[in-house]
Amino acid sequence: MNAQRLSKVLTSVGIVFEDKLSASETRRIEELYGFRFPNSLKGFYREGVPYSEGEEFPRWHDFSEENVEKIKARMNAPLAWLKRDIENGFWIEKWGERPEDTAELAERIKEILALSPVLIPIYSHRYMPAISEIDDPIISTVGRDTIYYGNSLEDYLKHEFLGKPSSAGEIEIPLWSDIIEQGAREFAEYEKVRRRLESKKL
């Protein structure tokens, strides 16, 4: 990925960039939030950090207590959303039999959520699962409503901000690939029923 060229292209379509992340800031962020930036994201932020008034982009330069708590909450949000969905009945066959006992279900949910890699916030509810040191896919997630949004950082940015088609969906992500596959199966079943009902109306 040519981070410099990509940053210039994004600037040309209206994305605002703040100062680049320094090496010391990068180390401080990694220590503070408990993850390592994949090389692609680290290289991108060396060209500048995207900024938005509505805070869709995380404000990595801001080390105030308030902002640190915001970013931590944002990192934890996908698991909180998924926990809520599981408690409300969402379940995947791969997880085995769903416990009927409330306490046992709570323990099983903890085990399931622990499978997730750290999710690095990128933009709005788009996240990069930290699963390698080089480059990772991007997912869009609100609990069970999760889809691939890019096979790499560059693929995602071009898809999100330049309207390019994405080649997403080829990289295995612990926990989240299972969520995505379940969603695809449910959507396919919904479409099958919808088409059947529409054919009866004709």
Is the confidence at residue 12, as pLDDT, over 90?
yes
Residue 198: per-residue pLDDT: 79
Q: What is the pLDDT of residue 187?
A: 79
Residue 171 has a pLDDT of: 85
Q: Distance (Å, rounded) from C-alpha 32 to C-alpha 10? A: 28
Burial of 95 (0-12, 13-18, 19+ CB in 10 A): middle
Summarised one tens digit per residue, pLDDT across range 63-98 is 999 999 999 999 999 999 999 999 999 999 999 999
* Mean local confidence (pLDDT), 119-146: 96
Q: What is the average per-residue pLDDT within 117-141?
A: 96
H or E element that contains 16: strand 16-18
Chain Cα centroid distance, residue 56: 13
Query: What residue type is 164 in one-letter code?
Result: K
pLDDT band at residue 202, thresholds of 50, 70 and 90?
low
Helices (H), 13-152: 23-33, 39-45, 65-87, 102-113
Sequence-separated (6 or more) residues with CB below 8 Å from residue 48: 7, 17, 18, 19, 20
Cβ contacts of 164 within 8 Å, gap of 6 or more? 158
**pLDDT of the residue at 196:** 79
Strand ranges across the sheet with 126-129: 119-123, 126-129, 138-142, 145-150
How would residue 195 be classed by pLDDT, with cut points 50, 70 and 90? confident
The closest of 140, 128, 167 to 151, measured between CA atoms, is 167
* pLDDT tens-digit map of 24-59: 999 999 999 999 999 999 999 999 999 998 889 999
Give dist(CA 120, CA 41) in Å, integer. 10
pLDDT digit string, tens, across residues 134-187:
999 999 999 999 999 999 999 999 999 999 998 766 789 999 999 999 988 887
Least Cα distance to 177 among 188, 187, 185, 169 occurs for 169
Secondary structure letter of residue 152 according to DSSP: S
